[in-house]
């Protein structure tokens, strides 16, 4: 493990090299914002398991040295290749980021829903200060803020109806390895509007790379966002997504994550209720095999009365895979009539697979409905026996029950195209295909 | 066809069956009756090969083979079928997908060709209508949201599709109203054949007025304590298990 100070210095050097090219570089206020973020990162360093919040996840190669900024890729990726990654979503509106940079030639904005506006980070100077916000950030969010070269700013106008899902594709094409991309997105749904956004993360097997994505979301009064994430990084990929959501009164936010790629993955989602009567559902499923490490961390802050949060996470872990589910629900004293439930279920298919589940309820209000539950185990022996007694060989019976466990989550996805996309990805996993996504290195 | 000899079975370290002898020939239907807790389901499970049901002594010979050495799926391929007393719900697995997989695995196991989707649907529809089941049920996950009677009918549907050589029906009558009972019994009777044997496990005589057995075995305390013709069931109905000096808390 390298010295934390060496790593911080290396990232500071990167920042010094890049700063003139970063969006907002000419604006002294934004420069100060970026410098502040860099300083906060330098102070905290890459998180280690010594931090309570990172107790179960060790960030491997990120602790060994700094990852270089990934280089722009010009050649060798066509629209067809992007279509092939998500056939069910092909043809719909999409933004494509390759190595963290928007690729206009691969984007498709034809079917963009009425009222939805999308811009790249560099083309939206007025929104940069908001997008690069660094309040209550952790070290990786701060590093992302210092180094973010691109991202999407999505704004859905007041009362706009829900159209087709916007697909934001992140594709890694690392060179020799040890490269990182830090994308920063911001999604704002204005009052009364509705939208669906799908984020996908793909990368080749082979070289190690780091995808450090951050997404800031604000859902306005009585507005609704359905947000899907499909994490299918390459086998040696390191993945970290942080989603921070703020909900105004009456707003609804629904998140569904499918996490099946990468060597180490950590998906973090934090929801803060800023107005009464809002709701969120956070659902996710993590599928690991080999030596994969998949961490899902959620935090829900009930700061105002009468909000609802429901979380259901499921994991399937085979071989020596390691899963983590951390779920914090905090209900402030004034947040009466809160309804908050959290459930985590993990299937361990091998003796060497393991999961750490840490539900945490901090409840300061007295008139609330809150619960959490976590179960871990093997397939139900009675179901397995039943299927075998009907002639299904053990391996097939097991596979059928594993798929059923996954299907029960995925079949609840609302938008047809997204359900089809996630179902296909989950089935490919069940059938034995590894996370991967794309094979082959940089063209 | 089925020869159970001096069968001792232990479950969870406790001996439940203490030396069962029972032989069943092709074409025959035998009833096994007994009070709750007498070991009827244990006998059914051990025939189907459930884990944890350990044969400590004796043997089960089925068509000349040692059944106890076979996995549950091998038994299914060889023609053993158990209709469960408590059918299992399997959320996330569609009924149709399950039935098709089971049928084709059993056909493969018997050296027959697999059915394609069209052939399967045709066969399935035929059997579903014979059992007066609602086809829409099969689009749902297996047994999820089914009433007790629907679950039992679903067991019989599986039996009629898989066409077993030996069918073991574990209290298929329990929880059925009289109409459902009649339909289930008709389904069972239509499957009676000179090539097939059935072991009908029941607590009450009621079912046996519809499915008339060739022979009745009374099981109590893990032993067969009496055997006879179909009249034995009637006598039992009249006098209760007390006629054998056995108490039955559910009677
Ligand atoms: N898994 C088990 N572990 C220990 N004892 C069991 C188990 N299952 C059943 N038994 C016992 O075995 C006996 C027979 O049960 P069972 O075969 O279910 O009877 P029946 O079907 O006739 O009601 C009962 O005393 C029951 O308590
Ligand atoms: Mg029983």
**Interface residue A395 vs chain B (CB under 8 A):** no
Determine the Cα–Cα distance for residues A438 and A421; give it in Å rounded to an integer. Answer: 16
| Tens digits of pLDDT across chain A (443 residues) | 568 889 999 999 999 999 999 999 999 999 999 999 999 999 999 999 999 999 999 999 999 999 999 988 777 899 999 999 999 999 999 999 999 999 999 999 999 999 999 999 988 889 999 999 888 789 999 999 999 999 999 999 999 999 999 999 999 998 877 899 999 999 999 999 999 999 999 999 988 999 999 999 999 999 999 999 999 999 999 999 999 999 999 999 999 999 999 999 999 999 999 999 999 999 999 999 999 999 999 999 999 999 999 999 999 999 999 999 999 999 999 999 999 999 999 999 999 999 999 999 999 999 999 999 999 999 999 999 999 999 999 999 999 999 999 999 999 999 999 999 999 999 999 887 533 334 333 32
Record: contact B73-A405, CB cut-off 8 A: no
**Interface residue B98 vs chain A (CB under 8 A):** yes
Say if residues B142 and B158 touch (Cβ distance below 8 Å): no
Measure A198 CA to nearest chain B CA, in Å.
Answer: 24
Say if residues A212 and A181 touch (Cβ distance below 8 Å): yes
Which ligand neighbours the alpha carbon of B33 most closely?
1
Record: contact A390-B106, CB cut-off 8 A: yes
Weakest mean pLDDT among A301-315, B216-230, B231-245: B231-245
Tell me the pLDDT of chain B averaged across its residues. 92
Give mean pLDDT, residues B145-153: 91
Say if residues A410 and A419 touch (Cβ distance below 8 Å): yes
Taking the alpha carbons at both ends of chain B, their separation in whole angstroms is 33
Ligand 1: residue of B7, B8, B9, B11 to mutate (most ligand atoms within 8 A of CB) is B11
**Interface residue B141 vs chain A (CB under 8 A):** yes
Measure B106 CA to nearest chain A CA, in Å.
Answer: 5
**Residue A254 pLDDT:** 98
- HSE of A389, CA atoms in CB hemisphere, 13 A: 27
Where do the structural domains in chain B lie, given as residue ranges?
2-244
User: The whole model's pTM is what?
Assistant: 0.91
* Beta bridge pairs of residue A350: none
Q: Percent of chain B, pLDDT > 90? A: 76
Ligand 1: residue of B10, B41, B251 to mutate (most ligand atoms within 8 A of CB) is B41
CA neighbor of A231 nearest in space, from A12, A35, A435 = A435
**Interface residue B192 vs chain A (CB under 8 A):** no
**Residue B237 pLDDT:** 83
Q: Which residues of B touch A404 (CB under 8 A)?
A: 90-93, 141
Say if residues A211 and A179 touch (Cβ distance below 8 Å): no
Q: Which residues of A touch B87 (CB under 8 A)?
A: 386
Record: contact B73-A408, CB cut-off 8 A: no
CA max distance for chain B: 56
Measure B5 CA to nearest chain A CA, in Å.
Answer: 22
Give mean pLDDT, residues B228-250: 81
Q: What is the pLDDT of residues B2-31, one digit of tens each?
A: 999 999 999 999 999 999 999 999 999 999
Record: contact A391-B105, CB cut-off 8 A: yes
Q: Which two tokens stand for residue A77?
A: 């990726």
ipTM value for the complex: 0.96
Q: Which residues of B touch A412 (CB under 8 A)?
A: none
**Residue A436 pLDDT:** 39
**Interface residue B129 vs chain A (CB under 8 A):** no
**Interface residue A396 vs chain B (CB under 8 A):** yes
Which residue, among A391, A393, A408, would best test binding to B if mutated, counting the most B CBs under 10 Å from its CB?
Answer: A391
Touching B: A residues 397-436, CB under 8 Å: 397, 400-401, 403-408, 411
User: Which residue of chain A is at minimal alpha-carbon distance from B90?
Assistant: A383
**Residue A443 pLDDT:** 29
**Residue B249 pLDDT:** 58
Closest by Cβ to A386, choosing from B84, B92, B162: B84
Sign of the C-alpha dihedral, residues B125, B129, B133, B136?
A: positive
Q: What is the pLDDT of residues B166-200, one digit of tens each?
A: 999 999 988 888 888 888 898 889 999 999 999 99
**Residue A433 pLDDT:** 54
Which residue, among B105, B151, B166, B169, would best test binding to A if mutated, counting the most A CBs under 10 Å from its CB?
Answer: B105
Record: contact A388-B73, CB cut-off 8 A: yes
Measure A356 CA to nearest chain B CA, in Å.
Answer: 25
Q: How far is the CA of B48 from the centre of ligand 2 (A)?
A: 14
Q: Per-residue confidence at B112, pLDDT binned at 50, 70, 90?
A: very high
**Residue A43 pLDDT:** 94
Q: Which fold has domain B2-244?
A: Rossmann fold (3.40.50)
Instruction: List, as ranges, residues with CB under 5 A of the ion ligand 2.
Output: B 40-41, 85
Query: If you ran DSSP here, which 8-state letter would residue A150 be given?
Result: B
User: Which residue of chain B is at minimal alpha-carbon distance from A380?
Assistant: B90
User: Which atom of ligand 1 is closest in space to residue B45's alpha carbon?
Assistant: 17
Measure A384 CA to nearest chain B CA, in Å.
Answer: 10
**Residue A438 pLDDT:** 41
Residues with CB under 6 A from ligand 1: B 11-12, 14, 16, 34, 36-42
Planar angle of CA A120, A121, A124, nearest 5 degrees: 85
Determine the Cα–Cα distance for residues A355 and A57; give it in Å rounded to an integer. Answer: 11
Q: Which two tokens stand for residue B143?
A: 């047994």
Q: Which two tokens stand for residue B20?
A: 């069962």
User: Which residue of chain B is at minimal alpha-carbon distance from A382?
Assistant: B88
Measure A394 CA to nearest chain B CA, in Å.
Answer: 8
User: Which residue of chain B is at minimal alpha-carbon distance from A399?
Assistant: B93
**Residue B246 pLDDT:** 77
Give mean pLDDT, residues B220-233: 92
Q: Which two tokens stand for residue A440?
A: 């082959």
**Residue B248 pLDDT:** 67
CA neighbor of A169 nearest in space, from A156, A183, A180, A179 = A183
Closest by Cβ to B76, choosing from A381, A389, A405: A389
**Residue B60 pLDDT:** 97
Which ligand neighbours the alpha carbon of B170 most closely?
2
**Interface residue A356 vs chain B (CB under 8 A):** no
Residue predicted with more confidence, A58 or B236: A58
Measured CA distances, A384 to A93, A311, A391, A411 (Å):
43, 28, 11, 22
Give mean pLDDT, residues B95-103: 96
């Amino acid at each position: 493990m390298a010295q934390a100070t060496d790593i911080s210095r290396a990232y500071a050097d990167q920042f010094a090299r890049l700063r003139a090219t970063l969006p907002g570089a000419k604006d002294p206020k934004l420069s100060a914002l970026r410098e502040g973020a860099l300083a906060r990162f330098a102070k905290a360093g890459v998180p280690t398991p010594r931090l309570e919040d990172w107790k179960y996840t060790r960030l491997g190669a990120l602790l060994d040295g700094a990852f270089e900024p990934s280089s722009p890729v010009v050649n060798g990726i066509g629209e067809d290749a992007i279509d092939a990654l998500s056939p069910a979503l092909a043809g719909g509106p999409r933004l494509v980021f390759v190595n963290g940079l928007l690729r206009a030639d691969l984007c498709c904005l034809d079917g963009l829903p009425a009222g939805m506006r999308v811009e790249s980070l560099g083309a939206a100077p007025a929104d940069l200060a908001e997008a690069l916000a660094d309040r209550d950030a952790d070290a990786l969010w701060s590093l992302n803020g210092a180094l973010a070269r691109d991202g999407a700013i999505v704004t859905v106008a007041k009362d706009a109806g829900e159209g087709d899902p916007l697909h934001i594709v992140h594709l890694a094409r690392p060179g020799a390895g040890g490269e990182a991309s830090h994308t920063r997105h911001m999604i704002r749904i204005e009052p009364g509007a509705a939208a669906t956004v799908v984020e996908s993360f793909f990368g080749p097997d082979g070289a190690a790379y780091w995808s450090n994505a951050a997404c800031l979301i604000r859902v306005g009064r009585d507005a609704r966002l359905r947000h899907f994430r499909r994490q299918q990084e390459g086998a040696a990929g390191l993945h970290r997504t942080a989603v921070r959501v703020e909900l105004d009164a009456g707003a609804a936010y629904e998140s569904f994550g499918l996490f099946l790629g990468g060597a180490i993955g950590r998906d973090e989602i934090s929801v803060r209720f800023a107005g009464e009567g809002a709701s969120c559902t956070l659902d996710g499923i993590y599928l690991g095999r080999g030596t994969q490490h998949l961490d899902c961390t959620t935090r829900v802050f009930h700061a105002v009365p009468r909000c609802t949060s429901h979380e259901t996470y499921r994991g399937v872990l085979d071989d020596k895979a390691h899963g983590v589910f951390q779920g914090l629900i905090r209900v402030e004293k004034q947040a009466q009539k809160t309804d908050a439930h959290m459930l985590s279920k993990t299937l361990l298919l091998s003796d060497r697979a393991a999961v750490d589940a840490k539900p945490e309820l901090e409840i300061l209000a007295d008139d609330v409905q809150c619960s959490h539950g976590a179960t871990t185990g093997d397939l139900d022996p009675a179901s397995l026996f039943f299927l075998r007694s009907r002639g299904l060989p053990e391996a097939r019976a097991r596979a059928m029950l594993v798929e059923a466990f996954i299907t029960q989550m995925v079949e609840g996805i609302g938008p047809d195209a997204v359900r089809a996309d996630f179902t296909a990805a989950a089935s490919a996993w069940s059938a034995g295909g590894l996370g991967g996504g794309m094979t082959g290195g940089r063209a | 066809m089925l020869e159970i000899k001096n069968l001792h079975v232990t479950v969870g370290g406790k001996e439940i069956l203490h030396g069962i002898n029972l032989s069943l020939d092709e074409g025959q239907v035998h009833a096994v009756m007994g009070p709750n807790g007498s070991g009827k389901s244990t006998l059914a499970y051990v025939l189907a090969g459930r884990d944890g049901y350990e044969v400590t002594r004796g043997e089960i010979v089925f068509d000349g083979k040692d059944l106890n050495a076979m996995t549950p799926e091998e038994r299914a391929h060889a023609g053993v079928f158990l209709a469960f007393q408590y059918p299992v719900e399997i959320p996330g697995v569609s009924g149709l997908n399950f039935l098709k997989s089971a049928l084709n695995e059993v056909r493969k196991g018997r050296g027959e060709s697999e059915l394609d989707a069209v052939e399967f649907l045709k066969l399935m529809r035929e059997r579903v209508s014979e059992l007066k089941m609602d086809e829409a049920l099969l689009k749902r996950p297996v047994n999820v949201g089914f009433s007790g009677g629907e679950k039992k009918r679903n067991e019989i549907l599986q039996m009629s599709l898989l066409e077993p050589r030996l069918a073991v029906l574990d209290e298929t009558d329990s929880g059925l109203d009289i109409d459902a009972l009649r339909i289930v019994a008709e389904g069972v009777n239509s499957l009676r054949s000179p090539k097939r044997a059935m072991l009908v496990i029941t607590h009450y005589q009621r079912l046996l007025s519809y499915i008339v057995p060739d022979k009745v075995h009374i099981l109590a305390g893990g032993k067969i304590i009496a055997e006879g013709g179909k009249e034995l069931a009637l006598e039992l109905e009249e006098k209760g298990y007390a006629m054998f000096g056995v108490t039955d808390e559910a009677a």
